[in-house]
A = this chain, B = another copy of it.
Amino acid sequence: MEMNQLNSSYIGAEYTMSIISGKWKPLIIYHLRQGTKRYGQIKRLVPDASPKVLIQQLKELEHDGIINRKSYPEVPPKVEYSVTAKGRSLYPVLDLLWFWSHQKL
């Protein structure tokens, strides 16, 4: 499928946006892009997100197959988040969105 032809409309663009358009999702993905992180680390990197919302966004990203959650059966608990292959395929999209916003026209 070639991009230059037959984007029959932009149906589907909304789908992509629905996946990355949570309040903290781009930031979460950005930080996880630097490498696997524990929940507490993410919490500190995104301090303005309340725990409820942060968990919510992580769950949605996990549900959409963008990130992976790995829980270790330890005490105290340890949970690691990392970006999946599908998630990595989003990098060019987020890069372009970022780039457009910083462009002078």
Q: Which residues of A contact B (CB under 8 A)?
A: 1, 3-4, 7, 9-17, 20-21, 26-27, 29-31, 65, 85-86, 89-90, 92-103, 105
Contacts and interface: CB of A to CB of B under 8 A. Distances in A.
How many subunits of this chain does the assembly comprise?
A: 2
25 contacts: A1-B102, A3-B96, A7-B94, A7-B95, A7-B99, A9-B27, A9-B30, A9-B31, A10-B29, A10-B30, A10-B94, A11-B26, A11-B98, A12-B101, A12-B102, A13-B26, A16-B97, A16-B98, A16-B101, A65-B105, A86-B105, A89-B103, A89-B105, A93-B100, A96-B96
A interface secondary structure, majority: helix
Contacts of A103: 1, 89
